């Protein structure tokens, strides 16, 4: 009975330590760089044409997504980035002029909400 109590205490202690590590785990930083009119070979790590040491460091130390494309104008690119959906499915297919008053439909879940729900603030 004494051994069972000690084993239970050890298991509880290990569970508490592991649970604390899970709750206190530091989340990685998330950095998105979205560039309009950037060609595939315009970055140094791709073709050594333009010296870009800071971007090269991000690529070397982080996660680089190499086959993701921006749209030809800014509004659809931003809508796609913020929703994770193709611009066609967000209703934003061309740039939004300053005189226009519409945007991404409210039924879309936006990236900041997803990050907030996953512990980012």
Reported confidence tier of residue 28, pLDDT bands at 50, 70, 90: confident
Nearest-Å Rg of the Cα atoms of the chain is 23
| Spatial CA neighbour of 76 closest among 96, 54, 98, 92 | 92
> Does the reported pTM lie above 0.75?
no
Contacts of 111 (CB under 8 A, 6+ apart): 81, 82, 83, 84
Q: What is the DSSP string of 23-67?
A: HHPPPPP------TT--GGGSHHHHSSS--HHHHHHHHHS----S
Question: What is the C-alpha separation between 106 and 33, in angstroms, rounded?
Answer: 24
Q: What is the DSSP letter of 96?
A: P
Listed range (3-17, 50-64, 77-91, 102-116) with the worst mean pLDDT: 3-17
């Amino acid at each position: 009975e004494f051994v069972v109590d000690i084993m239970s205490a050890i298991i509880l202690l290990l569970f508490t330590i592991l649970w604390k590590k899970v709750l206190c785990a530091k989340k990685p930083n998330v950095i998105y760089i979205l560039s309009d009119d950037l060609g595939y070979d315009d970055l140094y790590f791709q073709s050594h044409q333009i010296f870009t040491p800071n971007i090269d460091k991000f690529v070397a130390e982080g996660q680089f997504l190499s086959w993701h494309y921006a749209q030809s104008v800014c509004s659809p690119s931003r809508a796609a980035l913020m929703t994770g959906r193709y611009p066609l499915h967000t209703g934003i297919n061309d740039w939004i002029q300053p005189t226009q008053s519409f945007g991404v439909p409210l039924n879309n879940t936006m990236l900041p909400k997803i990050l907030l729900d996953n512990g980012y603030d």
